[in-house]
Structure 1
Amino acid sequence: MTPPADASSEPRHDETASLARLLGIMVRLRAPDGCPWDQVQDFRSIAPYTIEEAYEVEDAINRGNWVDLRDELGDLLFQVVYHSRMAEEAGHFRFSDVAETIGNKMLARHPHVFASGEIRDAAAQTEAWERRKAAERAARGETGTLAGVPGNLPALTEAAKLTRRAGRVGFDWPDADSVLQKLDEEVAELRAELPAADPARLADEVGDMLFVLANLARKLDLDPEQCLRGSNRKFRRRFGAIEQGLAESGRSPADATLTEMEELWQAAKRAEKSESGPSERDRHEG
């Protein structure tokens, strides 16, 4: 299957030259007379950097900083080049094989664009995409509803993906209210474990609560990882306001009482709401 040979589908000369230059830099870094640090790296030692760079791409997007996004995408691309170079050295595959493989995959998964297939809308495209991915997993010998969900994803993301897969075969709560009822049940179970204070039992119950919350986000068409990241950002802002408020009187959080810090927290919360304007509920309540 070959995409149409129009100008928009062909890489520009400067793009080809820039990529060739980057690949050459990687070869030089790994050469016997290259960089001592790069020479001793392997797939496992580089993998954490790959994950970190992906998160930094997301952070630049969330901040709307397009200069940073350009730089972070470069860092992420370099990770692909790095792994590909190590694979070539070991005789597994080359960067061109990586590009060829993903290109073939995209062509196969978009027959409505590159062949004669037809897709009615985005929802139908998602269904077709999932069917093709399932067929690809089966061709690799991966069986079972949950096959192919990586076990090293962020835990909330993994929980959402696992339950989404299970939901496709009918193993799911009917609605968000049912999930909330399950959450009440899990809270009660955690409360029952508090007197004994057994760390293993407490960890198990807290894990169950987080799993249910990930399900709740999914039922509300929300990404649980993004929900928590949003709360993390909010906590950073408001705690920063606490520190700033205390600094104005020459103090730090260590010098303040919990009551004082709570008052500054609530002030920061009110300021944020004032800056963002009244909520829909506030407007209805007059």
Structure 2
Amino acid sequence: MSTPGTDPAAPTGTGLLELVAVMDRLRSPGGCPWDARQTHASLLRHLVEESYEVVDAVENGTPEELRDELGDLLLQVVFHARVAAEDPAEGFDVDDVAAAIVAKLVRRHPHVFDGEATAEDLQARWDAIKATEKPRAWVLDGIPLQLPALARADKVLGRLQRAGLAEEAVAPQDLDEAAVGEQLLDLVRTAHAAGVDPEAALRTATRRLERTARERSERAGPEQ
């Protein structure tokens, strides 16, 4: 087997096929005992760790480090797909995973693949298309509870604001990423001094916001 990336004449995607072949060898009889006994559940912590390592490489690493971390993350996707392919109850493999995301990307970008040059409101169209794919009884359905508190709060606020269930904040013109970071750090510092877990505090505040928004929506009736 050749080393991925050494043949510039190879078609794009050849390395992905080699990765699938390596995973097949590792999971097959005579392969790696550790890889062979992994399950979706046992792999989860590795998926989370690799995701954060990609973030760290983007923010602090070199291009080579980012390449390597993306490879580690890609391995997790191929690993999960292989586990699923071996289980008749799941019935999908890595090609099904790729085909599903290709179909979703095409479906969600009609302004690109249907020949439309522009769209008046891409966010509104995106939300409308997603709503047909994944009907939700409530605007916040589908936001993972396992998200870190800050990421989840941002997601909840974004959904509620687009649905008209939360007011849009007006940021000062001089507020940039560095200033926001310092403000967040100050809050964490204050929480630490007060003996308060900032992660838990934000989760509690976000749940309170969700309850308030749901009550507001129910009072407004179906038209909301």
TM-score by length of 2: 0.69
- Aligned residue identity for 1:51: V
1:148 and 2:145 are equivalent in the alignment: no
1:28-43 superposed matches below 5 A: 28-43=25-40
Match of 1:96 in 2: 95
Count of residue correspondences: 178
1:65 is the counterpart of 2:62:
yes
Q: Give the Cα–Cα distance (whole angstroms) in 2 for the partners of residues 34 and 205 of structure 1.
A: 42
Given the superposition, is the C-alpha separation of residues 167 and 90 from structure 1 closer, same or farther in structure 2, using an over 3 Å criterion?
same
Are the structure 2 counterparts of residues 71 and 209 from structure 1 closer, same or farther at C-alpha, using a change threshold of 3 Å? closer
Q: 1:116 to 1:49 in 2, by over 3 A?
A: same
Alignment partner for residue 78 of structure 2, among 78, 81, 96? 81
Secondary structure of the residue aligned to 2:12 is helix
Quote how far apart the aligned CAs of 1:165 are.
1.3
> Are residue 44 (structure 1) and residue 38 (structure 2) matched?
no
What's 2:165 paired with? 171
Instruction: Report which of the two has the higher share of helix.
Output: 1
- Distance in 2 between residues matched to 1:128 and 1:153, nearest whole Å: 25
C-alpha distance 30-164 of structure 1, shift in aligned 2 (>3 A):
same
Select which of 133, 142, 146 maps to 1:136: 133
**TM-score, reference length from structure 1:** 0.55
Residue 116 of structure 2 corresponds to residue 117 of structure 1: yes
Report Cα offsets for 1:182-221 as digits up to 9, x if no partner. Answer: xxxxx9xxxxxx8xx9xxxx66996159847xx9xxxxxx
Structure 2 alignment gaps of length 5 or more: 1-8, 172-186, 188-193, 210-224
Greater radius of gyration (CA): 1
Q: Do 2:157 and 2:166's aligned partners in 1 also have CA atoms closer than 8 Å?
A: yes
Aligned residue for 1:15, secondary structure, equals coil
How far, CA to CA, are the matches of 2:111 and 2:92 in structure 1? 30
Q: 1:107 to 1:40 in 2, by over 3 A?
A: same
What is the aligned partner in structure 2 of residue 256 from structure 1? Answer: none
1:100 & 1:128 partners in 2: Cα distance?
Answer: 22
For residues 166 and 22 of structure 1, do their structure 2 counterparts lie closer, same or farther at Cα, with a shift above 3 Å needed?
same
Are residue 23 (structure 1) and residue 17 (structure 2) matched? no
Q: Partners of 1:129 and 1:152 in 2: how far apart? A: 24
- Give the alignment's Cα RMSD to 1 decimal: 3.1
